[in-house]
Amino acid sequence: MKTLYMGVEKGSVAPYVLFSGDPFRVERIKEYLDNPVSLGFRREFNSYTGTYKGVPITVSSTGMGAPTAAIAMEEMYEAGMKVAVRMGTVMALRDELLGKFLIPIGAIRREKTSETYVEQGYPAVPDFSLVEIYNETVKDFGSEYQNGITCTMDGFYSQMHDSGFSREFGRDLSPIFDELKRIKVSGIDMESSCLLTLGQLMGVKTCILTMTTVLENLKKVLLGEEREKAEDLLCKVALEGIYRYQRKEDNNHGI
């Protein structure tokens, strides 16, 4: 039976799922898959299953924000997902992180969706074997990473970036950035803590692999060819990490 929103079912989804917020990033990454098969493009959910170096992988978009990310986790879990990796972008609070990977070891839960599953004190943490694999993979691709704490929020224009309305309304976002930097938060996004929390609850090994494409309040942004290269590298590292993780699992089980 197909799921309500994504239209996926057992047998169509691989145990390994890569989640992208942007549905058009899915079109980019599927070019690196062998024999990709479309599972449908419904609302913000664009999904394919194919193989990478022989490993079956499903890639799917979640759209922006925790509510739809939770729907994607629920429906992919129902269809047989065992490992989930969010591959996306992040707003960094440290200037030197622009163009580098941020692979968090934990996330502050300031989105409200995960609270509908479990109390706020429940930690949003990744599977550290996946974190280790992605750290190594990033280095092998000649790039740099940072393992820090991120913060997930719901309001882009109310918490992360000034807008015409926020300025008209007299909202000052600088105290948000100042507070997060004071407590040594490395970056802000809109999905990660929800995905990590649900992954823990579901028993799905989950990890966050993000590329820093903007700095706080968009004071500096990767553009043009630089952004294209960063997106392409993100796709390659995401797939290679899954392949290496699968190979390590096979070795651990003597396959």
- Grade residue 254 by pLDDT with cuts at 50, 70 and 90: low
pLDDT tens for 14-67 read: 999 999 999 999 999 999 999 999 999 999 999 999 999 999 999 999 999 999
Whole-number Å distance between alpha carbons of 31 and 66: 27
DSSP 216-242: GGGSSB--HHHHHHHHHHHHHHHHHHH
Mean pLDDT of 241-252: 92
pLDDT for residue 253: 72
> How much is the average pLDDT of 238-249?
96
**Is the pLDDT reported for residue 255 higher than 60?**
no
What does the block give as tokens for 218? 């968009």
Q: What gap in Å lies between CA 217 and CA 95, rounded to an integer?
A: 12
CB 128 within 8 A of CB 172: no
H-helix or E-strand containing 39?
A: strand 34-42
- Using a pLDDT cut of 90, give the percent of the chain over it: 95
For 83-104, the pLDDT digits (tens) are: 999 999 999 999 999 999 999 9
**246 has pLDDT over 90:** yes
Q: Quickly state the pLDDT bin for 251 (edges 50, 70, 90).
A: confident
Q: What structural domains does the chain harbor?
A: 16-244 (3.40.50.1580)
Residue 42, judged by CB atoms within 10 A of its CB (0-12, 13-18, 19+), counts as: middle
Q: Distance between CA atoms of 126 and 101, rounded to whole angstroms?
A: 16
